[in-house]
């Protein structure tokens, strides 16, 4: 300490009131406490070590106010020392109150100041206390950014975690975004396309094969960064020299999927896709790399184990190709390539489910190039993390976009939750905001959902007036990647539980389906706070072109057809991409576990699944052209634009769409009855007709078979069932009631009586009937004429040895079995 400075401080604060000294204990001096309260506070502060001065100079007046306010040494601008009764504005008074939620780090900072007044000569070095432009401390806490910032401003991102069975190469792949200058038209079949016969590895040469891939019968156990431990082996063949033109395949990277490659001719290869991990199905998504290419040479690739009988490849869809040399030299990214494209049934029959083949030819643009092929534009977990890192480090966007961890996936990867809204001026205004919930990539192979989500986020986080308006009136809850594990390992539909997550939104298995369980729980809590206007889950579709929505038919007459207004508005805003005719609002039993239906049953009227094609558009100016990345991103913007139309206080557009929907429904009903050969008066109460009768099923996917217990529980369930069977075999007869035992005993006794009668020589029996426990001794007495023998109720036969010639039955006694 500096004695001169300490003396000066004591002289300057000698008249401060004790309540202010309680807020800033370093200002206490040696004056005497004037009242019991101040005496108590003196002992209190002294006990905790905040005050070690004498009591002779404790302050008792506010005459020193102007001294502290004008003394720059404190750097506090009177915030801690001003009296509460001189603050005229109640709001300002509330802002100046000492915060009660200081972290331990802030407390340590203040304690250091209290022990060393020299620190007051410069602003406090705390990230949690706000400073004004003069370097003075304002006793208001900064928002704790560390709770939301998951990414360091410098350094590596959180590395993806893989199942320990998966081998992963140590290369970081990155593809540039690029929009083709010209439309990419569908392939037009000529009818002369070759259908290669599947040869297999018996007649070909295996040039690439993954062995350590978990399949059906195994289940996920643990994960680690980098996947499998040990040295990563080379699954591809080794080139014999510069003249060796064998292609080198690779897929052990994020979202990659290729199990095996067989060279069946010089420039012809048969490819086998890896099924979703821990399953034996869902082969649709592919993404792999080839090296050692030759320019102007026609190669043929044939994928031999696809499972869907129908595909967009039959109507002109082309695979995607990416040239690394073109990207580096000409800034050209993914483009549609391929000729002689055919999708057909595999001719091999192994007695299991039938397989289908996709074949195409290609000419590589460069020699010795590195090229990639994909089913659709890849969007990996690392791509998402890079995007979220840019948002977190943006000083403007981070003010209204808060990033949190929704949960951890089975493999331990973070499932991110974004909350996007502008700060509200009052609590009432904040509570009045409605919510919108958006999610994507519950099916990892449907990367088009991520590109739509990226377009939405680009717009809603921008400084556009419409985006600012949306943030003012809504709270957006966004889960951009629901199934990060599946995205990382290159699955098409399933998580590491081996199940389709979009069939398990009703699950209670929190540990097996954490992403879905926490999403549903988040929406449930949100519904308790505010109304959720809209829920939409972004998907991809492999059998239909264009973009469309699946919704849920509302049964409330008050909101009849309201669930169709938003899709109709979207079709008007995007007439060349969105098809309202492809929308469907039927709730099928097999879709009860989907996010769309579960959220609708939780009370969200406008609950949708957005399906975007892997192919392209058949509408308007974009007819017969493939969708690009920019097309999908633009749809994210149009979702925001349509949301503004849907919520416009002027209900003109809404009512026009509702009237149009009623007219369209009349036409559909009339068409349906004409097909059935029936007449109907549509001027009557036609709105009572069930809409389910005129709608087709949402046959967009055949993944209902993915429902059921997660694979790691199946073996346990089988063991339990076996034990039940064994237990049933060994199980004794159940205990009977007293009544049942009496009836059974009487029945058995009756059977014995009948058997004795049958075995006895024919002779007129003599009966003795009595209602008393004592047996009648007059055995010669005949029974009354109207008295029927009651032997059926006797319990104990009275036969004795040596009396076989005459049966004597006992009297009727009523006993109960003990």
CATH code assigned at 367: 2.60.40.3120
Higher pLDDT, 168 or 772: 168
How confident is the model over 364-374, as a mean pLDDT? Answer: 96
Residue 787 has pLDDT above 80, yes or no: no
> Which of 635, 656, 677 is a domain's end point?
677
Same domain? For 360 and 399 the reply is: no
C-alpha atoms less than 13 angstroms from C-alpha of 72 in its C-beta half-sphere? 3
Sorting pLDDT into bands at 50, 70 and 90, what band is 689?
Answer: low
User: Residue 218: what pLDDT?
Assistant: 82
Q: What pLDDT is recorded for position 429?
A: 93
At which residue do the structure tokens 């009523």 appear?
814
Domain boundary among 339, 374, 409: 374
| Residue 360 shares a structural domain with residue 449 | no
Q: Is the pLDDT of residue 499 over 60?
A: yes
Mean pLDDT, all residues of the chain = 78
CA-nearest of 158, 804, 188 to 484 is 158
- Per-residue exposure over 149-184, b if at least 16 CB sit within 10 Å of its own CB, e if not: ebbeeeeeebebbbbbbbbbeeeebebeebebeeeb
275 lies in the same domain as 303: yes
Does residue 763 lie within any of the structural domains? Answer: no
Q: How far is CA 586 from CA 502, 544, 549, 556, 694, in A?
A: 17, 17, 11, 15, 10
Indicate which residues carry an active-site annotation: 611
Confidence of residue 478 (pLDDT cuts 50, 70, 90): very high
In the chain, the number of structural domains is: 2
Say if 694 falls within a structural domain: no
Q: Is the residue at 423 inside a domain?
A: yes
**311 and 443 belong to one structural domain:** no
Supply the pLDDT for residue 720.
Answer: 65
Structure tokens at 689: 């007709």
Asked whether the predicted pLDDT for residue 85 surpasses 60, the reply is no
Q: What is the pLDDT of residue 142?
A: 54
The Cα–Cα gap between 540 and 546 comes to 10
Reported as a pLDDT band with limits 50, 70 and 90, residue 281 is confident
Lowest mean pLDDT among 348-352, 371-375, 418-422: 348-352
> Which pLDDT score is estimated for 552?
94
pLDDT at 805 over 50: no
pLDDT at 371 over 70: yes
Q: Is the pLDDT confidence value at 285 over 80?
A: yes
Lowest mean pLDDT among 16-25, 286-295, 685-694: 16-25
**645 has a pLDDT exceeding 90:** yes
Per-residue CA distances from 78 to 28, 41, 72, 116 (Å): 16, 22, 10, 19
Question: Where a domain ends, among 651, 677, 703?
Answer: 677
Mean of pLDDT values over 309-316? 93
Q: What is the pLDDT of residue 298?
A: 96
pLDDT band at 120 (very low <50, low <70, confident <90, very high): very low
Q: Is a pLDDT exceeding 60 seen at residue 752?
A: yes
Residues 316 and 396 in one domain: no
Question: Does the pLDDT at position 280 exceed 70?
Answer: yes
> In this model, does residue 437 exceed pLDDT 80?
yes
568/623 same-domain check: yes
Judged against a pLDDT cut of 60, whether residue 528 lies above it is answered with yes
pLDDT over threshold 50, residue 16: no
Q: Does residue 766 surpass a pLDDT of 50?
A: no
Residue 290: strand pairing partners: 249, 371
Is the pLDDT at 780 greater than 50? The verdict is no
Same domain, 499 and 578: yes
| 570 lies in the same domain as 436 | yes
Say whether both 470 and 341 belong to one domain.
Answer: no
Choose between 772 and 446: higher pLDDT. 446
In a domain, 481, yes or no: yes
360's enclosing H/E stretch is strand 356-363
Question: Is position 479 within any domain?
Answer: yes
User: Is 579 inside any structural domain?
Assistant: yes
In a domain, 564, yes or no: yes
Domain match, 230 and 248 both: yes
Q: Which of 61-70, 661-670, 755-764 has the lowest mean pLDDT?
A: 61-70
Q: Are residues 310 and 411 in the same domain?
A: no
Output 687 or 523, whichever has higher pLDDT.
523
**pLDDT score at 119:** 42
Instruction: Look at residue 682 and tell me if it is in a domain.
Output: no
Tell me the C-alpha distance between 387 and 55, whole Å.
60
Say yes or no: 350 and 438 in one domain: no
For residue range 35-51, what is the model confidence (pLDDT) as tens digits?
677 777 777 777 766 65
What CATH number does the domain containing 432 carry?
Answer: 3.40.630.10
Band (100; pLDDT cuts 50, 70, 90): very low
Host domain of residue 293 = 205-374
The answer on pLDDT for 668 being more than 90 is no
Share of the chain above pLDDT 90, in %: 52
């Amino acid at each position: 300490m500096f004695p001169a400075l300490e003396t000066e401080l004591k002289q300057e604060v000698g008249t401060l009131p004790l309540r202010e000294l309680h807020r800033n204990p370093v200002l206490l001096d040696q004056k005497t406490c004037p009242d019991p309260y101040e005496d108590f506070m003196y002992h209190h502060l002294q006990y905790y070590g905040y005050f070690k001065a004498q009591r002779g100079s404790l302050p008792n007046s506010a005459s020193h106010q102007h001294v502290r306010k004008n003394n720059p040494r404190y750097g506090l601008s009177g915030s801690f020392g001003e009296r509460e009764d001189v603050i005229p504005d109640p709001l300002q008074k509330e802002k100046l109150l000492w915060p009660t939620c200081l972290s331990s780090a802030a407390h340590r900072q203040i304690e250091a100041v209290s022990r060393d007044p020299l620190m007051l000569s410069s602003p406090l070095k705390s990230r949690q206390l706000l400073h004004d432009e003069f370097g003075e401390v304002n006793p208001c806490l900064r928002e704790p950014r560390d709770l939301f910032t998951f990414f360091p401003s410098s350094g590596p991102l959180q590395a993806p975690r893989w199942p320990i069975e998966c081998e992963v190469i140590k290369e970081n792949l990155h593809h540039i975004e690029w929009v083709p200058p010209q439309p990419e038209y569908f392939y037009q079949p000529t009818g002369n396309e070759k259908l290669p016969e599947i040869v297999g590895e018996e007649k070909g040469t295996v040039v690439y094969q993954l062995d350590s891939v978990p399949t059906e019968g195994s289940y996920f156990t643990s994960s680690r960064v980098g996947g499998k431990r040990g040295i990563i082996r080379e699954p591809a063949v080794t080139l014999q020299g510069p003249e060796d033109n064998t292609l080198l395949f690779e897929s052990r990277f994020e979202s990659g999927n290729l199990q095996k490659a067989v060279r069946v001719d010089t420039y012809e290869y048969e490819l086998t896709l890896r099924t979703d991990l821990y399953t034996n199905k869902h082969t649709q998504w592919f993404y792999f790399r080839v090296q050692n290419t030759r320019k102007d040479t026609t190669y043929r690739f044939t994928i031999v184990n696809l499972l869907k009988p129908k595909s967009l490849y039959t109507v002109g869809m082309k695979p995607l190709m990416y040239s690394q040399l073109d990207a580096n030299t000409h800034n050209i990214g993914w483009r549609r390539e391929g000729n002689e494209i055919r999708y057909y049934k595999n001719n091999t029959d192994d007695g299991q489910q039938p397989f289908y083949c996709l074949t195409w030819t290609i000419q590589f643009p460069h020699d010795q190039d590195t090229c990639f092929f994909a089913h659709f534009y890849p969007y990996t977990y690392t791509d998402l993390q890079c995007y979220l890192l840019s948002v977190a480090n943006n000083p403007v966007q981070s003010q209204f976009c808060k990033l949190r961890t929704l949960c951890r996936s089975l493999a331990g990867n973070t499932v991110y939750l974004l909350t996007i809204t502008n700060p509200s001026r009052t609590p009432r205004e904040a509570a009045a905001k409605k919510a919108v919930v958006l999610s994507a990539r519950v099916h990892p192979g449907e990367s088009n959902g991520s590109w739509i989500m990226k377009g939405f986020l680009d717009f809603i986080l921008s400084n556009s007036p419409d985006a600012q308006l949306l943030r003012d009136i809504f709270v957006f809850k966004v889960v951009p990647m629901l199934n990060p594990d599946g995205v990382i390992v290159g699955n098409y539909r399933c998580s590491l539980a081996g199940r389709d997550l979009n069939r398990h939104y009703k699950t209670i298995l929190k540990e097996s389906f954490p992403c879905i369980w926490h999403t549903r729980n988040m929406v449930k809590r949100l519904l308790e706070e505010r109304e959720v206007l809209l829920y939409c889950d972004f998907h991809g579709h492999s059998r239909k072109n264009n973009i469309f929505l699946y919704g849920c038919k509302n049964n409330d007459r008050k909101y009849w057809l309201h669930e169709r207004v938003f899709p109709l508005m979207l079709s008007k805003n995007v007439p060349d991409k969105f098809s309202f005719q492809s929308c469907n609002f039927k709730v099928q039993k097999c879709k009860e576990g989907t996010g769309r239906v579960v959220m609708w049953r939780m009370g969200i009227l406008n609950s949708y699944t957005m399906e975007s094609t892997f192919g392209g558009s058949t509408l308007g100016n974009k007819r017969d052209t493939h969708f690009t990345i920019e097309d999908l991103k633009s749809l994210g913007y149009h979702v925001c634009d349509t949301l503004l139309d849907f919520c416009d206080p002027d209900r003109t557009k809404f009512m026009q769409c509702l009237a149009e929907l009623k007219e369209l429904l009349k036409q559909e009903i009339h068409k349906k009855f004409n097909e059935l050969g029936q007449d109907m008066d549509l001027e009557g109460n036609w709105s009572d007709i069930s809409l389910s009768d005129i709608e087709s099923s949402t046959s967009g996917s055949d993944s209902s078979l993915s429902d059921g217990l997660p694979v790691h529980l199946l073996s346990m369930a089988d063991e339990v069932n076996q034990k039940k069977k064994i237990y049933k075999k060994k199980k004794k007869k159940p205990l009977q009631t007293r009544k049942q035992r009496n009836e059974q005993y009487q029945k058995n006794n009756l059977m014995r009586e009948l058997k004795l009668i049958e075995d006895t020589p024919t002779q007129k029996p003599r009966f003795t009937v009595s209602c008393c426990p004592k047996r009648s001794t007059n055995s010669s007495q005949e029974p009354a004429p109207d008295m029927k023998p009651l032997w059926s109720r006797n319990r104990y036969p009275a036969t004795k040895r040596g009396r076989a010639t005459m049966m004597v039955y006992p009297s009727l006694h009523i006993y109960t079995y003990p």
